[in-house]
Amino acid sequence: MPLPALAIWPALTVALALLCVEARAADPAASQAGGGPQTMSIADLRPGMKGYGLTTFEGDKVERFDVEVLGVLRTWAPQGTVVMIRMSGPVLDQTGTISGMSGSPVFIDDRLLGAVAYGFPNSKLPIAGVTPIEEMLVSGEIEEAGSALRQGARRAAFGRALREEIKALVDAYAAGHRPGDPAIREIAGRMVLPLGFRRWDGARQTAVLEPALRRLMPGAQEPTLARLPIPLAVGGASPGALQALAPGLSASGFVPVQGGTAGASPTTSIQPAPGVPVGPVFVTGDIDMAAMGTLTLIDGDRVLAFGHPAFDYGEVSGQLDYPLAVGRVQTVIPSTFLSFRLTSTEGIIGRFTRDTSAAIVGRLGGEAPMFPCTVRVKGARDTTYHYQVAGYWETAPFLAYLVSALSAERWEGEGAMVTLSVRSSITLKGREQPVVLRARYAGVPVDWAAFDMVYLPAAVLTFNEFAQRDIAALDVELEVQEGIEAAEIRGVRASPREVEPGGKVELTVRLREFQGPEKLHKIELRVPEDAVPGTEARLLVCDAWLNYWIDMDEDWGFFDPYDMEGLIRILESYPEGTGLYVRASFQRAGLRYEGVPMPDLPPSAMSLIGSGPETGSVHTLARTLKLSEPTPYLVDGAEETTVRIVDPRRGMAPPDRD
């Protein structure tokens, strides 16, 4: 059976691109006619050949460094070939290979050989691996045939993985775990980092360090060539926040560093050229985040950089869409482990559009999507933070969560005992009304509130199965109150214990405040007129979360939406967490036969139903009353009691309902 056209189309374009690159590499005149530099074929290389490279060590000045060819590795995966070189120069002789040099072009006989992309950790000498320009050009010329199909498949895979992790989260809660517990943290950690920032195993996201990156971790001794990490400069975040970010981001080849960005202004005096720092911008504003490597080649409006992937998509060509910025080097930090470069973003000049095994590919001009994010933190002082967040669907929920958590962390301080009231408003492209959620948290880590109220709803909306909806704007408000404003339900008492249909019951609830006294809270309940005398009514007083889970269990159809608006209704039903909830279950007259309620059956008919050998499913009818009473604090726990329904006709036996 022949393959579907869409299945072979991308493969054909890759083959055509390879043929074009091979033709140009074999014909130097073709490269000159195209306006780009002549390229050096690997077949022409010999050990000992010398040349130079271009990179930036300080400011915006592109400088040369010396290069000597050591040899060629023929079996390197995934490229197939890596050229080994020894570099030298006033800076490199002191620092060794520098993280941030990824993409620095290397020339032999004034012909472009490729880009610095690999290095040895703990090496005393600046020995590096070069990705050949032939392979980088393949990356640049692969057409995006079938890209929409691949994007749709990957987006759907994200949705499936997210639903699996949400189920695991619900199961962990049902097992008694709470926010901050290791089991919950593990699940949340798997969920937060998107595919672009982690490995993919085909079914779900997993935080696994690839072997090459394991060897870049401090203390590793294996003498193995590995991809150079990309410095991810985070300006405006605390050292503690960087330490928390480091394990996850390091797993995908990023090294979070303090400071190093100055914001990406819309214009800059720095002109893009080989050797100039470039990279994708993730966040600008009161926190800046950008990953800066080096530009290798400009061919018309096309840009090739890095010499290796920025992310790990595991595809020939992974589509992405981030602002492309040029940068200014602040300084180089020498290290016995691996030196790195601090680079500030100086201006957005285009957009990065693809990530491949041999290069990150961009276009000069044009604008990548970004959305405004405002985070207001109210408390002892009121502060508003403003951001522009990269809107590419794959990382937008993660970046929104990140800036929200880091903004709140600035106020809270490490280990502070606070109560958080959170309101998040998510505006989607193509929908006028925002999705609004509210919740309250006491004694949980501040990043959990951001996970619960920003990441989860944003991810569910972005990766939903009904419609493609990207984030257009995000507004988060956190009110921080020192101390724990919470109370636990310690008991409940009903008065009277026997009541007629239509009568009143007063519930007295004992609440124990956190590190405080017990208080009594009274709730009045009216018994339904059709409550059956001779039965007992179960009265449950519980917190918002248990009430929510019971609603879900009793009305699962509401939590199984069939369209986008149904999904939004579920999200907006998320409980705030304060208040007392009462669920009172009373038996009613009548039966439910095969799912159909029959409330007004006479006793003779009721005695016949269920007595025959071929009768269907028969259940008693019940009515559940739901009440809620506000409280000034977060409530946790549940207690229950019962009352007996008595016949108003004193002295008469109640009817037999058995």
CA distances, 121 to each of 197, 226, 277, 305 (Å): 22, 8, 22, 22
The stretch 28-51 carries a mean pLDDT of: 71
CA atoms lying within 13 Å on the CB side of residue 566: 10
Q: Phi/psi class of residue 441: alpha, beta or left (left: φ > 0; alpha: ψ in -120 to 50)?
A: beta
Share of the chain above pLDDT 90, in %: 30
622: confidence class by pLDDT, cuts 50, 70, 90: low
Tens digit of pLDDT for each residue in 249-278? 665 667 777 765 545 555 668 889 999 999
Q: Averaged over 208-233, what is the pLDDT? A: 56
What pLDDT was estimated at residue 166? 78
Residue count of the chain, please give it: 658
pLDDT digits (tens, 9 = 90+) for 325-380: 999 998 898 887 788 898 888 889 999 988 888 889 999 988 899 999 999 988 77
Please tell me the predicted confidence (pLDDT) of residue 17. Answer: 36
Q: Of 135-139, 454-458, 585-589, give the range with the top mean pLDDT.
A: 454-458
Q: What is the CATH number of domain 7-141?
A: 2.40.10.10
Long-range contacts of the stretch 207-213 (C-beta < 8 A, 24+): 207/247, 207/248, 207/251, 208/251, 209/250, 209/251, 210/251, 210/312, 213/250, 213/251, 213/252, 213/253
What's the rounded mean pLDDT across residues 437-451? 84
| Helix/strand/coil for 576 | coil
Q: Is it the case that residue 58 has pLDDT exceeding 80?
A: yes
C-alpha closest to that of 142 among 391, 368, 360, 349: 360
The pLDDT score that the predictor gives to residue 293 is 93
Long-range contacts: 609-617, Cβ < 8 Å, 24+? 617/593
Rounded to 5°, angle at Cα 633 from 631 and 637: 90
- Cα distance between residue 463 and residue 394, in whole Å: 9
- Whether the per-residue pLDDT at 154 is higher than 80: the answer is no
Residue 59, phi-psi category: left (phi > 0), alpha (psi -120 to 50), beta (remainder)? left
C-beta of residue 529 within 8 angstroms of C-beta of residue 585: no
Per-residue model confidence (pLDDT) at position 144: 52
Quick one: which H or E segment has residue 544? helix 544-554
Identify the pLDDT of residue 589: 59
CB neighbour class for 219 (10 Å; exposed up to 12, middle 13-18, buried from 19): exposed
> Residue 524 in contact with residue 625, Cβ under 8 Å?
no
Residue 512: count other Cβ atoms within 10 Å of its Cβ: 17
Percent of the chain with pLDDT over 70: 73
The H or E element containing residue 635 is: strand 618-636
Q: Give the tens place of pLDDT for each residue, 560-596.
A: 778 888 888 888 888 888 889 999 888 765 555 445 5
Q: What is the pLDDT of residue 25?
A: 36
Contacts of 173 by beta carbon, 8 Å cutoff, 6+ apart: 184
User: Given a cut of 90, is residue 409 above it in pLDDT?
Assistant: no
The predicted pLDDT at position 53 comes to: 96
CA distance 329 to 313: 28
Whether the Cβ atoms of residue 98 and residue 339 lie closer than 8 Å to each other: yes
Mean of per-residue pLDDT scores for the chain: 77
- What are the structure tokens assigned to 374, written together? 């405002």
Would you state the pLDDT for residue 411? 61
Band the pLDDT of 30: cuts 50, 70, 90: very low
Most confident of 29-43, 65-79, 283-297: 283-297
State mean pLDDT over 90-108: 93
Contacts for 63 with CB less than 8 Å, ≥ 6 apart: 54, 55, 56, 57, 89, 91, 275
**Statement: residue 101 has pLDDT above 90:** yes
pLDDT band at 147 (very low <50, low <70, confident <90, very high): low
| Residue carrying the six token digits 């400009």 | 298
pLDDT value, residue 366: 82
Residue 612 has a pLDDT of 47
- How far are the Cα atoms of 154, 172, 198, 464 from residue 159, in angstroms, in the given order? 9, 20, 16, 6
Structure tokens at 160: 């499936």
Domain extent listing, the chain: 7-141, 147-369, 372-482, 486-645
**pLDDT range class, residue 138, cuts 50, 70, 90:** confident
Q: Summarize pLDDT for 187-196 with one digit per residue, the tens.
A: 777 776 654 5
At residue 426 the predicted structure's pLDDT band, cuts being 50, 70 and 90, is very high
Looking at per-residue pLDDT, the higher value among 379 and 108 belongs to 108
Q: Strand pairing partners for 343?
A: 329
pLDDT at 555: 65
Confidence band, pLDDT 50/70/90 cuts, at residue 181: confident
Neighbours of 579 (CB within 10 A): 19
Report field, pTM of the whole predicted structure over 0.85: no
* pLDDT higher than threshold 50 for residue 236: yes
**pLDDT confidence of residue 33:** 35
Query: 30 versus 575: which is more confidently predicted?
Result: 575
What does each C-alpha distance from 158 to 179, 237, 457, 465 come to in angstroms?
23, 28, 14, 10
Token representation of residue 477: 């408000």
